[in-house]
Amino acid sequence: MAAYDVIIIGGGPAGLAAGLYAGRAKLKTLLLEQMLAGGQAATTDLIENYPGAPEGTTGSKLTERMEEQAKKFGVEFLMAQVTDVDLHGREKIVITSEGRYQGKTVIIATGATHRKLGCPGEEEFTGRGVSYCATCDGAFYEDLPVAVVGGGDSAITEALFLTKFASRVYVVHRRDALRATKVVQDKAFAEPKIEFVWNSVVEEIKGGEMVEALRLRNVKTGALQDLPVKGVFIYVGLVPNTGFLKGQVQLDERGYIPVTANMETNVPGVFAAGDVTVKLLRQVVTAVGDGATAAVAAEKYIEENF
């Protein structure tokens, strides 16, 4: 079984920054990622709140450069799905689709994925009008009406992105006030292609071969209406990717990993970083800080325990 000083699970900004710092500390480091590196940030069209990029940058460009930088300092990348872990021994075991690996430390940076709405039609029309990635699928809706569900940063940022293609972008939100950052809200309110449908939830996604309409219910009046759209982009929050950790590491009631200020979990030698942790702010700028801290804490742990 191949042995490492540090095994990083997850290749988003937190994992990539952890890799950079572990590599520069000359630790033998393996980074496991089930798809292409970059995480959720890689599917974000415009990131304009990452310090040092006043014109904004695309998520894919930023994370590709992070990957290149981690590789430059010797981090090994492997595309593999982690199926199980045994983190309680002195040596940690990570079992993947590509084999078993042993690490003195593990950094969990598996992030979070989009929460589903759970309404009729959502599963059925996924890939046929229902999407969770505007950057991937937005261009299919040139001159067509689409809806975005949600009122957070993801929903409003992606609604703005979709105005590049769609004829109209309806933002369906369950309240009458947005959760998104104020500067993002202001842009959306000023965008003529965006129309807000307040106090409304999606009861059903309807269609034939493809999506044709959303059945909406006004939560104040109970009134039902059908909103004709060709696509619906769902951004109703996140679910942490921690299913494979049950019984291994302490999780909070929502499945996020509580960590100390040094990114330690409750298991010695196991650290966590980025969106998967319990934290106030889930953004690239906080993920990279977590990743750097986790790597330095892992280095210190190895010095003291091996």
Of 206, 122, 193, nearest to 162 (Cα)?
Answer: 193
Spell out, one character per residue from 218 to 237, where the chain touches ligand NAP: x when CB under 6 A holds, - when not. Answer: -----------------xxx
Q: Binder to ligand NAP among 57, 63, 157, 241 (CB under 6 A)?
A: 157
Compare residues 4 and 256 and give the one whose CB is closer to ligand NAP: 256
Backbone angles phi, psi at 234, to 5 degrees: -105, 120
> Of the candidates 86, 85, 4, 77, which has an alpha carbon nearest to the alpha carbon of residue 34?
77
Choices 51-59, 131-139, 143-151, 159-167; region in contact with ligand NAP by CB under 6 A = 143-151
Angstrom distance (rounded) from CA 114 to CA 176: 22
Nearer to ligand NAP, 27 or 213 (CB): 213
- Determine which residue in the list 71, 88, 168, 174 makes contact with ligand NAP, applying CB under 6 A: 174
- Give min distance, CB of 180 to ligand NAP, in A: 7
**Closer to ligand NAP by Cβ: residue 15 or 151:** 151
Q: Nearest approach, Cβ of 236 to ligand NAP (angstroms)?
A: 4
Give the DSSP H/E element, type plus range, for residue 86: strand 82-86
Query: Could you say which of 84, 86, 136, 252 is catalytic?
Result: 136
> Taking the alpha carbons of 274, 276, 279, 280 in that order, is the dihedral positive or negative?
positive
Q: Considering the rule CB under 6 A, would residue 201 count as an interface residue with ligand NAP?
A: yes
Q: Which one-letter DSSP state was computed for residue 116?
A: P
Is 136 labeled as catalytic in the residue annotation? Answer: yes
Residue 9, beta-bridge partner list: 32, 108
Phi, psi of 277 (to 5 degrees): -95, 165
* 283 is a site residue for ligand NAP (CB under 6 A): yes
Q: Which of 100, 170, 163 is nearest to 134 (CA)?
A: 163
Q: Measure the CA dihedral 299/302/304/306, to 10°.
A: -160
Active site residue 45: no
Out of 71, 179, 193, 215, name the contact with ligand NAP by CB under 6 A: 179
153 as an active site residue: the answer is: no
Q: Which residues bind ligand NAP (CB under 6 A)?
A: 49, 117, 149-155, 157, 174-175, 179, 201, 235-238, 282-283
- Positions annotated as catalytic residues are 133, 136-137
